[in-house]
Structure 1
Amino acid sequence: MDKGDGSIKYILTGEGAGTTFTIDDSTGDIHAIQRLDREVKAQYILRAQARNRLTNRPLEPESEFIVKIQDINDNEPRFPDGPYHASVPEMSKVGTSVIQLTATDADDPTYGNSARVVYSILEGQPYFSVDAKSGMIRVSLADMDRETRENYTVVIMAKDMGGQLGGLSGTTTVNITLSDVNDNPPIFDQRLYQMSVPESAPVGSVVGRIWAKDRDIGVNAEMKYCIIDGDGRDIFDISTDPTNLFGIIVVKKPLNFEKKPSYTLKVEGANTHLDPAFRQRGPFKDVTIVHVSVEDVDEPPLFDLSAYYVELPEDAEIGTLVKTLSARDPDAANNTVRYSIERSSDPEKYFYIEITSGSLMTLRSLDREEIGWHNITVLAMEMNNPTQITSVSVAVKVMDVNDNPPLLTDFLEAYVCEKAKAGQVRKKICNKCGKNTLKCCKRTDSAVFVYLVLGCKYKLMLRNKLSTLFHLPIFISDGEQPVQTSTSTMTIRVCSCDQEGNAMLCHPEAYSLPASLSRGALIAILACILVLLVMILLMLSLRNHRKKPYLCDEEENVHENIVRYDDEGGGEEDTEAFDIAAMWNPREAHHHLGKMRQDMLPEIESLSRYVPQASVMGGGGDSNVHGYVLAKLLEADMDPCAPPYDSLQTYAYEGEGSVAESLSSLQSGTSNTDHEYDYLNEWGPRFKKLAEMYGVLETNNPPLW
């Protein structure tokens, strides 16, 4: 229909129209406007139609057609999972498969040879090879040894077009490791090991380590060690460390240098795992010799026993030999041993041990009733090395001796009814008769027995109806030698009883305590009364003492006033301790006498009959002062509570017409020089003269100063 005049227009629609493909609307030629890739899109579905150019009316229905992209060899083979890792046991045979590789080619395998791949090895020969078609890598060299070389790198190439010239290719790397097999026996790195251990090493101590080296690894190198021979196989033991590679030699039994200074061990090391491929070779093992030297150590003394037990009677005399302990120095030097007792184990020092012989003796009297067991610790020490000390326990059991009299623990008291018949049993003193331990006795020795004068069951015979209180003596004796005895008294009261024999009322002289008031309560009441009496006596005694205190009352005005002045007098401020008006100006003595303290006048009057009224140098005006001084002096001599000190007072007034002249050296009228401060030498004669003047001191008596 197309005449070529351009009246027909061609239209293209569908996949890739306008982008990948275009059409010439005049001629209908279709062109590709970009590069086509079959591996991206192998075909396109397009639709074409012819239309009138002027009217745009279709001249025919749309036609659909498919455009297929023809493949060309534009893609090389690829290994999607490379690089690869593989392993193969060492010593594998030739042809043993290692790993299979597969290369992919994006080209069309149905069109030509673009996707037909061939494999070849570029690197890794002569150890490995690859199958050209399948890509399987195999061992190509026999007896490859891991211990010689463990890792190999193999490079494989895949080429399309069947490997022909012009084909595309791709490569990959395969890392091949030879896995270990137990193909090597263990070998000790030394044929003879030298070790040493101190004799003091405890059981379980490590002596040394040995190693049977194995070129294999992993489980193929794990070892098991054992002592197969030697004189030390019973003294030492060997085990494998946690890595299962080394052998650890340890002490199995205590060592003693003096008994055996060295040992020899024959040790075997063998693999624990045997590879099935090498069973014909037998177990892989090796043997070595271990020489162990025992080093001498200064050991502490050793007692002949681990503990001592001794029985000793409690009446053993002081100095009795208890036990002779023996300890020796286990070393070859055999140093001298000294003994002592650890004081904390015998604080009361009941025992003594002889320092050189080890004889344990008593130092104090023993008493089983106080201490039945003595657990003491004895120390043994080397004289040349005090740091080497050993202790041992000595248990001393104190055996009982009959040295205590039997005692009744309960207060013996009973009652009997007024109308009790003769021969009626009222109270059992003992639970049992004969040589048996009794509960009614205080047990102090091993066995205590009680015998009553009239038997175990004491029968009361009421023969005297007038008596309402009976005191029965009881004789107590034990049954061991030497026999120990004691006595006790049983009190029996006569009471009025009911029909059942229960006491209702006892006679006054035999009145028993009510049931609600125990004997302990009565004792407590009596004790309280006694305490009250003592307190009353103490209060009365204290009251009497207050009347005569050791220090006189304030009314007696005795004070210790030590006053220091820079002049001869300080006035009334220096004499506030008590009223000294009587010792002021004698011309006013009578005037002040009437104003003296009321508590002074009775004392002077009461003492006037004891004090002689002697005149002093004709000075009748000083008689009151004279009497007062003598009265106070006599009172102080006779008063047991007078203080042991004197009262020293100084006054401004010296006294009129005093034959002693001035007592002051501070302002002497005859001296214009500096003051003399030797008061003792200056005042001494003046005091003496004053005392003689008042008749206080006779001239032939020793001076008071």
Structure 2
Amino acid sequence: VGSVSAQDPDMSNSPIRYSIESRSDLERFFSIDSLSGLIRTNRPLDREECVVHNITVIATETMDLSQVGTVVVLISVTDVNDNAPRFALDYQTSVCENARPGKVVETLSAVDPDEPEPGGHHFLFQLTADAAANHFMLRDNNDNTASVVMQQAGFLQRDKSVYFLPVVISDGGRPSLSSTNTLTITICSCNLQGRRLRCRHGATLDSDGLSTTSTVGLTCMLSFLGIVMVTTVTRWRRKRGETRTMDEEQDVRENIVRCDNEGGGEEDTGAFDMLTLRHLNQMNFITPTDSRLRNKLLQEFIRDRLLEADHDLTAPPPDSLHTYTIEGGDSAADSLSSLDSLTSLESEQSYTFLREWGSRFKKLAELYEHRPGAGVA
């Protein structure tokens, strides 16, 4: 490609080593000889991809690596005719069964990514030898376009619904390149006004020009998108609900609320509200009106339950709780405890039989023989 050179102006005249900055040539198109500074290509270059390459060459003194110099090298890629022309568009052509000879079916144009010759591109359109005897002919318009013209009538969709017309396009480059492109022509049944009604294997066109196949495909696609959207929204709501439930559980769990005010007991209806445990970061202001409303609802609930219990004949007797704050006097009755009294059975009990059981029960007999009411040994 070329070469670069550098020298040390100092008296030491240190040798120079060359390199290419990696950031300026990321795809490694070029390499440089570290001693001579000769730049070469590592891979083929394509002008259609990049016209100019901008690389930075670094020159470094071998005796003092801190002494560095840089230079920008611009490499222009010259064009060669290495791309054949092709259709400018993806043509979708159709013609009516009752079309007359001489009707222009389609106007073709071509593109060539190569640099044009002086005076611009010049494309030549022609049909292949196999397509010359077809129902169509190709007419060059001398402006880099060509017209496909009906050569003869007599199309029947039921016999053949699609025609393939091979078109050869060549450029005027040196050397000249050409390519074969296929034009697809669909035979349609039309009304008297020339509006297409049915094309290509029974695809019916509606009043807006869309075929039934296209309409069905569009409907299916819209239905699929609708299902995807509904599924996405449902999953999002479900996930949001689970997150909210977890947050509420965490609000109640392992939270300590310290209250310095002593409550008024069971009769205190304005005691601390447990909702504070669930919403620690929110201030709940309860107005007197809300408190009276809650008390009224509670009273109505209790009254309704009492009425149900009073009129239910099958219900067991209700439990009652009585609290006595006055201590009563002594009872005239004797003590009901059996700890301090002996029954007649105990007073008449004799333990003399213990001695008759032998020496093993001797000690036990000695203990019981001196008890009041016990038998004398």
Query: How high is the TM-score relative to the length of structure 2?
Result: 0.45
* Higher strand proportion (structure 1 or 2): 1
Higher relative contact order (CA 8 A, sep 6+): 2
What is the TM-score when the length of structure 1 is the normalising length?
0.25
Q: Which has the larger share of helix?
A: 2
Structure with max Cα Rg: 1
